Amino acid sequence: MTATLDFQATALSLQAQRAKVLASNIANADTPNYQARDFDFSVALSQATQSAAQNPSEPVRTHPSHLSGTGSAAAPAPVLQYRQPLQPSLDGNSVDLDTERAAFAENSVRYEASLRFLNGQIKTMLTAINGQ
């Protein structure tokens, strides 16, 4: 029951981390010798879901009739890689604002979609619990 919710929560966490990385790149667009960084979202998501499946942390049950479930959906920190510059700059900065803005916009849309999907799942579960 919570596997899909855990997956969506992990995806949201990774998308929030990627938004921070991309925002940092945009903020340092004029910093000499700054190297743009990013991570492959699909690789990070598959690693996070595999590690969650291999190492589930079971919450403490204080009563035998309590529901069991898996632990938190906090995603591990993804491996940041340096982005290859499309055009070299004289000051050594590898940030391409057009690329960063496009990646940030795409990440924002995906974050919003994941959030809406997660909210829909929660509403469906509440409707089932309430019996409506």
Domain count within the chain: 1
Secondary structure of residue 82 in the 3-state scheme: strand
Percent of the chain past pLDDT 70, that is, above it, reads 80
Domain that holds residue 96: 3-49+73-130
Q: How many CA atoms lie within 13 A of 130 on its CB side?
A: 7
**Tens digit of pLDDT for each residue in 47-102?**
988 876 665 555 556 667 666 554 454 567 899 999 888 888 899 999 999 999 99
On whether residue 16 sits in a domain, the answer given is: yes
The whole-chain average pLDDT of the chain stands at 85
Q: What residue has token string 């510059």? A: 85
The residues pairing with 81 across neighbouring beta strands, listed in sequence order, are 38
On whether residue 55 sits in a domain, the answer given is: no
Q: Contact, 107 vs 18, CB < 8 A?
A: yes
Instruction: Give the span between the Cα atoms of 109 and 68, in whole angstroms.
Output: 33
On whether residue 97 sits in a domain, the answer given is: yes
The pTM for the full model equals 0.77
**pLDDT value of residue 99:** 93
